[in-house]
Amino acid sequence: MSPSTTSVVVVGSINVDQLITIERHPLPGETLIGTSMEFLPGGKGANQAVAAAQLGATVQMVGAIGRDAQAEVATAILTRAGVGLSAVHAVDGPTGLALVTVADDGENTIVVIPGANALMGADAVTASADVIAAAAVVVLQGEIPAAGIETAVRLATGRVVLNLAPVIPVDAETIRCADPLVVNEHEAALVLAQVDPGAVVPAEDADLVVRLREWGVASVVLTRGAKGAICSDADGTTDVPSPVVSAVDSSGAGDAFVGALSARLAAGASLLDSARFAVRVGAFAVRGRGTQTSYPTLADALPEVLA
């Protein structure tokens, strides 16, 4: 397998999302009545793989599912999108599960139970060494063990997109290999505190980006929801605005962003051009319910950023 065969390899989580809709999020100790519940494919890794594949990238997934009925649900859209699943292995135990609650204003809360994803350590990732080494872009998130992330970075010969979400303790040199590190403002502060424990964490998003670059990250993309993103690499630091849309469900929008960014980077676009495309994809995603079910294909018209 050569980089031209597999442009993007996503090493990460595969879940089923239990999606509950509710008028508003409950207060601590409060019981509310939900309006609906459904089971949908999810997991940050799978989400990003689907997003990249539906936007034209050739994608291979490296991950684990359980030997249970939920595994078929978890991989249904991956299969439909054409993501390669030969490096996705069934293991004893349950498929990963995310409990997602979405309020009427589009904001969500998510609790993740790793299941099979917890077994994606160094040995499991090393078993797919050839697949990872063949990728032009290797995409990683924080929903598998740190040892698996660190091993994938060592095996990568192409560009590493590290979306450290959630933020877990990862070797500092692994974070320095990110090009880019993709985090939101809360995650950026946590990463900076992790890699530089004595640092005073800046309050401003742009200052967080500068500090991460100064610490040694080659490039940073800081996602800011409806405000877009900040993109920073050797060519400079740029504010990337987002289209203005009416949000229905924000869950998975960050993964749509990462998948779109990775697809464009694999196609040879600059980081800034890739980020400009990715904010439009993220804005498209918040207009639909669920994660993978809300992602665009090449046939969809993306919202535009108004001047």
Could you give the CA distance from residue 161 to residue 100 in angstroms, rounded to a whole number?
25
Sheet holding 159-163, edge to edge: 84-91, 59-66, 8-11, 137-141, 159-163, 181-184, 220-223, 229-233, 236-240
Burial 276-290 (b: 16+ CB within 10 A, else e): bbbbbbbbbbbbebb
Could you give the CA distance from residue 100 to residue 255 in angstroms, rounded to a whole number?
15
Structure tokens that stand for 298 in this block: 């090449």
Could you give the CA distance from residue 285 to residue 252 in angstroms, rounded to a whole number?
8
Could you give the CA distance from residue 63 to residue 40 in angstroms, rounded to a whole number?
18
Structure tokens that stand for 145 in this block: 């063990």
Tell me, yes or no, if 130 is annotated catalytic: no
Which residue in the list 104, 130, 255, 300 is annotated as catalytic? 255
Could you give the CA distance from residue 123 to residue 118 in angstroms, rounded to a whole number?
12
Shortest CA distance to 14 belongs to which of 55, 54, 47, 53? 47
DSSP state of 22: E
Catalytic (active-site) positions: 255
